[in-house]
Structures are given as structure tokens and as C-alpha cells.
Amino acid sequence: MENKSKNEKHKMAVIIWLAIYPLITVLCHFLGEYLQPLPTALRTLVLTLIAVPVMVYFLVPLLSRLLGTWLNK
């Protein structure tokens, strides 16, 4: 049972990475020029204010559905 739990965590980590990497890349590409003058903490705040809801409400559920068979093995 514990091994299955570890597998589920690893698989969820892969799902999150598959969502976050392209999302942050796209956000930096399109917003980087506008965010550059801001202090690092404020840039991070803006990026996370956008990224977290997109991840939680769109990307992770979408990837979980698309990869559901693999997730449930």
C-alpha cells in the first residue's frame, strides 16, 4: 500500500511539472518584458497570481483526465 502511495506522489509530481514548466515559459515569454522593471518579489507575485489558478482549475485537471489511465495504474 505504501509503495502505491509513493507512486501516486511521483506521478502527481510529473503531472504538475508537465503543467508548470510550459505555463511559466509562456508567461515569461509574453509578460517578461513588462515585468522586467519590477523587483523580483513583485514579478514572482504577478506570475504566481496567474499561474496558480491556471494550474489548479485548468491544467492539472486537464492533464489528470488525459493521463488518468496512467495515473490510476
| Cα–Cα distance measured from residue 25 to residue 29, given in angstroms and rounded to the nearest whole number | 6
pLDDT at 35 over 60: yes
Specify the pTM. 0.82
Q: Cβ(15)–Cβ(55) under 8 Å?
A: no
What is the pLDDT, as a whole number, of residue 47?
A: 96
Q: How far apart are CA 65 and CA 40, in angstroms?
A: 35
On whether the CB atoms of residues 54 and 23 are closer than 8 A, the answer is yes
19 CB-contact burial (10 Å; exposed 0-12 / middle 13-18 / buried 19+): buried
Q: How confident is the model at residue 73 (pLDDT cuts 50, 70, 90)?
A: confident
